[in-house]
Amino acid sequence: MLADVDFDIPIDADKLAGFRAAMKEDTVLGDADAANVIRQEVFAPSITGPDVRCLLYVPDNDDGSRAGYLHIHGGGYIMGEPEMSDVMSILIAEKLGAVVCSVDYRLAPEHPVPAPLDDCYAALAWFHQHASEWNVDTSRIGIGGESAGGGLAAALAIHARYKGEYAICHQHLTYPMIDNLTGTESNMGDPLTGEFVWTRESNRFGWASYLGEAPAVAPQVPSRLEDYASLPNTWLYTASMDLFRDENIAYAQELMKAGVSTELIVLAGACHGFQMVPGTSLGKKYVDDFLAALEKGLG
């Protein structure tokens, strides 16, 4: 949980190190042993950089064939690590019996496009190649993430479709960060969104850091995609006060137009990061909805 980090202050180059340190300090690991889940650190080979560190969560039982879930953490493309999603990763492994692989991708601005997506694809490849070690059915591997992690998951689904090497059965997107124009002069958006946690200023900095000198095109910017056909079935969860609300709704609509099975939820009264605040009814609803939809999506 990251409830103590004050994200309402816009993030810029001078404040980035402080935000990263605060997130790391505020991250609390779950009790994997109590959930009967084995947590381990693994490394996926990469052809474009160093091996990609991941956290792997394996249910400590033998219940036959399992699903797999490749998780990508949030943080505006500029901060974060898989440990900050540890509690949810344990819960997925415990409640759904799925093996979870959570990716520690390289962060911008030190590592802009294409490094973060390259790391996620390397993790997907490794997960498929080693699936038999945990009895994971490769036809039941889904992907997902929150915020920038949701953006990278959407980008990964597009990239994997282009490559045609590794199947993805489902994408599970929580308020994904998918449009670099949101919060810019050309698309300031609804003034009732973007006031809390992730602001227009932070969004502009995050996208500029992530793109670097690269053009704003798909797959790295999923909203620039022209052909949505044959993408994985999708669950997209956004919030009424989230800066990404309208880009998320538009993305879901494009998926539906292309015939992709899509479930869109817009949670009233919630802002970006709402589920990180412990003990709220909205957070509980999110977890319940998340697990039920993921179980369905993974088959």
pLDDT tens-digit profile of 209-243? Answer: 999 999 999 999 999 999 999 999 999 999 999 99
The answer to whether residue 210 is domain-embedded is yes
Q: Domain of 172: which CATH number?
A: 3.40.50.1820
Question: Which pLDDT score is estimated for 64?
Answer: 85
Looking at residue 241, its amino acid is M
The answer to whether residue 133 is domain-embedded is yes
Tell me the average pLDDT of the chain: 95
The answer to whether residue 229 is domain-embedded is yes
Question: Which pLDDT score is estimated for 63?
Answer: 74
**Structural domain containing residue 148:** 16-297
Question: Which pLDDT score is estimated for 7?
Answer: 53
Low-confidence ranges of the chain (pLDDT < 70): 1-8
* String of DSSP letters for 106-148: --TTTS-TTHHHHHHHHHHHHHHHTGGGGTEEEEEEEEEEETH
The answer to whether residue 10 is domain-embedded is no
Q: How many domains does the structure of the chain reveal?
A: 1
The answer to whether residue 4 is domain-embedded is no
Our measurement of the distance from residue 144's CA atom to the centroid of its chain's CA atoms, rounded to an integer in Å, reads 5
Residue with tokens 């282009």: 162
* Beta strand pairing call for 170-174 and 233-239: parallel
Q: Could you give the residue numbers annotated as active site?
A: 147, 242, 272
> Which among 162, 176, 72 has a CA at the least distance from the CA of 123?
72
The answer to whether residue 198 is domain-embedded is yes
The answer to whether residue 166 is domain-embedded is yes
Residues 6+ apart with CB under 8 A from 66: 59, 97, 98, 99, 134, 135, 136, 137, 140
3-state secondary structure of 195: coil
Start-end of H helices in the chain: 16-26, 86-96, 115-129, 148-163, 200-211, 245-257, 281-297
Question: Which pLDDT score is estimated for 2?
Answer: 42
Q: Kindly report whether the global pTM for this prediction surpasses the value 0.85.
A: yes
Our measurement of the distance from residue 218's CA atom to the centroid of its chain's CA atoms, rounded to an integer in Å, reads 17
Is 298 within 8 Å of 142 (Cβ atoms)?
A: yes
The answer to whether residue 2 is domain-embedded is no
